[in-house]
Homo-oligomer: A and B are copies of this chain.
Amino acid sequence: MNKTETLEPLLTALCGAPPPSQLAGHLAALAQEVRVSRGGSAPLDHRRDLFVYIAQGSTKLVASASAGREQIVAFHFAGDIVSVPAHSLHSYSLNALEPTHLLIFPASEMHAAIAGNPAVLTGLLQRVLTALHRCRDKAVGLGRKNAGERVASFLVGMAERIGHAEGGEITLDLPMSRRDIADSLGLTIETVSRQFSEMRSAGWLRTQGRAHVRLLQPATLAAHAGHVELRSP
């Protein structure tokens, strides 16, 4: 599969229609195509703003504060677009959770390339807005929720993105480790593990091996996620 073909789903998703082949070719010329193995980190040029398209696989965007403390800012799955700024208060890296296929674009050149196509530009804006809103929700969780609520939020959120509904239950295959979950929720692995244990014994979920999770009571879980209640007064 060549770069242009890899790009097609991206463009289709962005503008909601089959893309003009000229644009696809133009973008393909800009893109650096990279395959990253599980645990590897994407070769990012931190001197310039970037967009990264996740063609296949899944990634985590990791920020490092001082003293080696790490915070996972977001998880991404196939089809997602990630924005990585040139330099920031914290140093960012993009790591693969499984064998992953990426297209890396310099932001300024991508802007120029799609400037003539408002539909694509608007689509990109929409993606960035979604990322912003997810990040805000994460900030609420990190600032104002306890460990149980954070883990419940995480599971509910992942269920929406990569879960498979089966009757009233949802099954999940989590590509990330407990450490990743902890680093994403601002907790320690031990606390995450304890929360999983409590939820297991409460009958809210069942786990199989490291990755497989079955949410037995998604509604209960959602109710304990600390989201604003859709009240019936």
Contact = CB atoms under 8 A, between A and B. Distances in A.
Contacts of A49: 129
B186 A136 contact: no
Number of copies: 2
A135 B132 contact: yes
Among A66, A111, A139, the most chain B Cβ lie within 10 Å of the Cβ of A139
A173 B128 CA distance: 32
Given A125-B124, A132-B128, A137-B89, A144 B71 contact: yes
A226 interface: yes
B228 A91 contact: yes
A131 B136 CA distance: 10
Nearest to A118: B115
Contacts of A70: 144
A83 B142 CA distance: 21
A63 B136 contact: yes
A135 to B, nearest CB: 4
B66 A229 contact: yes
B129 A83 contact: yes
A165 interface: no
Contact of A143 (B89, B149, B186): B186
A94 B82 CA distance: 27
A212 interface: no
4 tightest CB-CB pairs across the interface, nearest first? A143-B186, A142-B142, A115-B118, A135-B135
Interface of A: 49, 61, 63-67, 69-71, 73-74, 83, 85, 88-92, 111, 115-116, 118-119, 121-122, 124-125, 128-129, 131-133, 135-140, 142-145, 149, 153, 183, 185-186, 225-229
Given A49-B129, A111-B122, 5 more contacts: A65-B227, A71-B140, A83-B129, A132-B135, A135-B139
8 contacts: A63-B139, A69-B226, A71-B139, A71-B143, A116-B118, A124-B125, A142-B143, A144-B186
